[in-house]
Structure 1
Amino acid sequence: MHAFKKLFVLTMMIWTCMLTFLSNIHAAVIDKIQEGNTSSSKGHAKWVANPERYATTSDIKPNFDLQVPILEYHQADYLPGNSLGLRSGQFLREAQWLSDHGYHTINFGQLYAAMYHMYQLPKKPIIITFDDGYESVYRNIFPILKKFNQQVTIFMISNYVRLHGKWPMLTKDELRVMESSGLVDVESHSATHPDLGTASEREAYREIVQSSRDLEKITGHPIRFFCYPSGRYNAATIEMLKENGYFLATVQGHEPASLRQGPYTLHRMTIYQTTSLENFAQYLLHGGFKTLPNSHVFG
Structure 2
Amino acid sequence: MILMNSTQVSHFTLDAYFDVGLLKYVIFLIILTFYISIIGANVFLIVVICVNRSLHEPMYLFLCSLFVNELCGSTGLFPSLLVQILSDIHTVSAPLCFLQIFSVYTYANVQFYNLALMSYDGYLAICHPLHYNTRMTSNKAAMFIALTWFFPILHVSVMISLSGSLQLCGNIINKVYCDNFLIVKLACSDTTANNTYGLVYMFTVIAALIIVIFYSYMRILRVCFSGSKQTRQKALSTCTPHLVSLFNFSFGGFFEIIQSRFDMSGVPNMLRIFLSLYFFTFPPLFNPLIHGLNLTKVRIICKSLLFGKV
Structure 1 length-normalised TM = 0.24
Greater fraction strand = 1
Structure 2 length-normalised TM = 0.23
Kindly name which structure, 1 or 2, has the bigger radius of gyration based on alpha carbons: 1
